[in-house]
Amino acid sequence: MATKPEVLILSSRTDFSCDYVVGRLAALGRPYLRLNTEDLPSYEITLDPLRKEFGCKIKNTSFLISTESLRSVWFRRSIYLRDSGASIPLSADEQIARMQWAAFIRGLMVFDQARWFNHPGATYFAEQKPLQLSVAKEVGFSVPQTLITNDAAKAEAFSSERLAVKGVDTIIAYESGEEVFAFTNILPKAHLTTECLRPFPVIVQEAMLPKVDIRVTVVGDAVFAASITRDGCEIEGDWRSDKTGLCYSRHSLPSTVERLCLKLMDRLGLRFGAIDLVQRSSDYFFLEINPTGEWAWLVDATGMKIDEAIARALTSS
């Protein structure tokens, strides 16, 4: 007899946020199936797109996903497959397998009656940073002056002498066998020369300084906000670049800002999102939103029950 999960989770082995939620689901006694994408070749799977049934056998346990039993899907994977040229290139067979498994995961969208957190189409839509900024402005957020450019003259036109510079997409590469990852950098305007900018476009923004970083995690209608400081002080640059001495504290957002967060989520078609804001005096500015963002560390640091909110959202009627 096959187990019929209510919740399907598409994740990876190292997804620690997922570990928190499956613990909550187990405590609630709700049946789920977690599929780690790197383990898929070891499973026996069959998808019937006409009957909308998905069978999966893991070792000696069989699972059956159907429209009758499936309540929700927690989609924890980015849509765009970033191939940055790892030091050990994939063989042709490995490249083909990787693409076909990615297509298979996307094919699970046949379960369109289930609640997706988030639907892959909405995730892809919301991952685009230029679009995020445009929609955030339209719903009423304050947004820093922003250009996407490879033209040094356009950067020179900013009134601010210090600018925030980041990639239009995640910047990740491999060099000499080492992974290189770029965060947002605060730079003097004079550093943005033609030689620096011409190879590819970057997001250039007015630097929000001084500021307090605010991470807002939204699950359905629930809004969890935390301030991020270092040794009790404001952080000038990207707090992710150096996590020593970081302090996470619960933060009470003004009701107007909470409503803007929920309005943004609705416009982007998201049920889950991790929103980065900055606070300057009493003003809040939108920076970006990640539809598959991390949050587990906030549960430990602040006691906010984000994992419980996700588990209950996945199993609610």
pLDDT tens digits, 15-41? 999 999 999 999 999 999 999 989 999
Q: Are 237 and 209 contacting, i.e. CB atoms less than 8 angstroms apart?
A: no
Q: What DSSP state is assigned to residue 77?
A: S
Helix (H), strand (E), coil (C) string for 238-249: CHHHCCCCEEEE
pLDDT tens digits for the chain (317 residues)?
889 999 999 999 999 999 999 999 999 999 999 999 899 999 999 999 999 999 999 999 999 999 999 999 999 876 655 554 555 577 888 888 888 998 999 999 999 999 999 999 999 999 999 999 999 999 999 999 999 999 999 999 998 889 999 999 877 776 766 767 778 889 998 899 998 888 899 999 999 999 999 999 999 999 999 999 998 888 888 888 788 889 999 999 999 999 999 999 999 999 999 999 999 988 999 999 999 999 999 999 999 999 999 999 999 97
Closest Cα partner for 77 from 22, 31, 37? Answer: 37
**What pLDDT is attached to residue 86?**
53
Q: Are 44 and 68 contacting, i.e. CB atoms less than 8 angstroms apart?
A: no
Closest Cα partner for 288 from 172, 184, 163? Answer: 184
What residues form DSSP beta bridges with 282? Answer: none
Calpha distance 231→87 (Å, rounded): 37
Q: What DSSP state is assigned to residue 91?
A: P
Q: Are 188 and 158 contacting, i.e. CB atoms less than 8 angstroms apart?
A: no
Sequence-distant (≥ 6) Cβ neighbours of residue 1 within 8 angstroms: 62
* Domain at 128-141+211-315, CATH class: alpha beta
Calpha distance 138→160 (Å, rounded): 24
Sheet holding 283-290, edge to edge: 246-250, 222-230, 212-219, 272-280, 283-290
Sequence-distant (≥ 6) Cβ neighbours of residue 62 within 8 angstroms: 1, 2, 3, 55, 56
Q: What DSSP state is assigned to residue 14?
A: T
**What pLDDT is attached to residue 114?**
97
Q: What are the residue boundaries of the structural domains of the chain, listed by start?
A: 7-123, 128-141+211-315, 146-206
Closest Cα partner for 182 from 246, 244, 241? Answer: 241
Q: What DSSP state is assigned to residue 112?
A: T
**What pLDDT is attached to residue 243?**
80
CA 197-201-204 angle, to 5 degrees, is 80
**What pLDDT is attached to residue 176?**
67
Give the fold, CATH level 3, of 7-123: Rossmann fold (3.40.50)
pTM for this structure?
0.91
Instruction: Give pLDDT tens digits for 257-298.
Output: 999 999 999 999 999 999 999 999 889 999 999 999 999 999
**Count of residues for the chain?**
317
Sequence-distant (≥ 6) Cβ neighbours of residue 308 within 8 angstroms: 24
